[in-house]
Amino acid sequence: MYEIFSKLLQEFSTTPYKVSKATGVSQSTLSDWKRGISTPKQDKLQKIADHFHVSLEYLMTGKEKEGGETYYINEETREIAQDIFENKDLRMLFDVAKDSTPERLKAYYNMIRELERQEKGED
């Protein structure tokens, strides 16, 4: 089971320390899990699953139940999330924009469009 956790750490470019801080699951719990001494209790596993936006089933087995829960609303949303995950520049823009007000988002959009027009020589 820890293998799935390790895979998620790599996919999200994070560390057990950061997951511990974000979820409240102690580093010693994660360390014991890694060494095979114990497995976190279900409530802690759920916090970890929620942190990575996966189901508890996936965290435990690496597989989703057939007809089971999926994280994304639809295929388009999954593709957008994957694009953001894979493209560091796009992820940076998303990180800046995700907590912005609608007014700031519109300003960012207009600024990017203006830069594109200038690059194309459409002044």
- Which residues form the domain of 113? 75-119
DSSP helix/strand/coil, 12: coil
Query: HSE of 71 in the Cβ direction (CA atoms, 13 Å)?
Result: 19
56 and 79 fall within a common domain: no
Using the 3D structure, point to which of 15, 32, 61 is the last residue of a domain: 61
The mean pLDDT of 3-15, rounded to a whole number, is: 90
Q: What percent of the chain has pLDDT over 90?
A: 29
Q: Answer yes or no: is 25 within a domain.
A: yes
Using the 3D structure, point to which of 16, 34, 61 is the last residue of a domain: 61
d(Cα 5, Cα 40) in Å, to the nearest integer? 12
DSSP helix/strand/coil, 15: coil
Backbone angles phi, psi at 34, to 5 degrees: -60, -40
Total structural domains within the chain: 2
d(Cα 57, Cα 72) in Å, to the nearest integer? 16
The mean pLDDT of 32-53, rounded to a whole number, is: 88
Query: HSE of 81 in the Cβ direction (CA atoms, 13 Å)?
Result: 12
The answer to whether the predicted template modeling score (pTM) of the entire model surpasses 0.75 is no
Nearest to 96 by CA among 111, 82, 76, 75: 111
At 76-112, the pLDDT tens digits run: 887 888 888 888 888 888 988 888 899 999 999 999 9
d(Cα 2, Cα 34) in Å, to the nearest integer? 6
Q: Answer yes or no: is 82 within a domain.
A: yes
Instruction: Inform me whether the pLDDT recorded for 123 exceeds 70.
Output: no
